Amino acid sequence: MQLCVYCSSSNHLHQRYVVAAQALGAGMARRGWGLVYGGGSVGLMGAVALSVQAHGGRVVGIIPQALLDREIGFLEADELIVTTTMRERKRLMDERADAIVTLPGGFGTLEELLEMMTLRQLAYHDKPIIIVNLDGFFDPLLAMFERIFAERFTDQRYRRLFTVVPTPDAALALLDGFTPPAPPADATASEFA
């Protein structure tokens, strides 16, 4: 399984967030799952990537040239895909991932999370989206979601778009019960073309 992780690029966070990012990286690598992420070396992004590799896992970073030019790319990634645009980067991240886990983060993280929720709502994909609500970090956002449901800005059935768990371990345990669907026949065929 390839796990896409959205999380903070900030280097100024409380250590408990870093510890959680490391726990996620360690747990997924031990399960043999690979990391697909934004390719940054900074903040929780760097912490997850380093931890995955330290525990024997494979890291795929997908980063736009502009961010790489600012020397904040994780050059030690097992595969570093450099894209021309941010849009292309996001498309590749989506394509490569079987499931999405969101750790605490800022505007970039929220944007990525909400885009994947929106695309799932519109049936562009059906990948699990897990929000790790560490120490209630996402409570204000979840309250906003509740208002969206309560005032019928979206339908109650879209509660299934995301799952909230308290810790990285709970996210991993949840995904233990998930088997990604097989790739479409034509995708498999093209690998051998």
22, 109, 168, 172: which one binds ligand AMP (CB under 6 A)? 109
Site track 14-53 with ligand AMP (rule: CB under 6 A), x = hit = ------------------------xxx-x--x--------
12, 15, 71, 107: which one binds ligand AMP (CB under 6 A)? 107
Residue nearest to ligand AMP (CB): 108
Residue 72 interacts with ligand AMP (CB under 6 A): yes or no:
yes
DSSP string across 22-59: HHHHHHHHHTTPEEEE--B-SHHHHHHHHHHHHTT--E
SS3 content of the chain, % helix, strand, coil (to 5): 50, 15, 35
Residue closer to ligand AMP, measured from CB, 13 or 23: 13
112, 120, 128, 132: which one binds ligand AMP (CB under 6 A)? 112
Residue 3 interacts with ligand AMP (CB under 6 A): yes or no:
no
Ramachandran class of 186: left when φ > 0, alpha when ψ lies in -120 to 50, beta otherwise: alpha
What is the per-residue burial (b if ≥16 Cβ within 10 Å, else e) of 23-51? bbbbbbbeeebbbbbbbbbbbbbbbbbbb
Chain contacts with ligand AMP (rule: CB under 6 A): 6-10, 38-40, 42, 45, 63, 67, 72, 105-109, 112
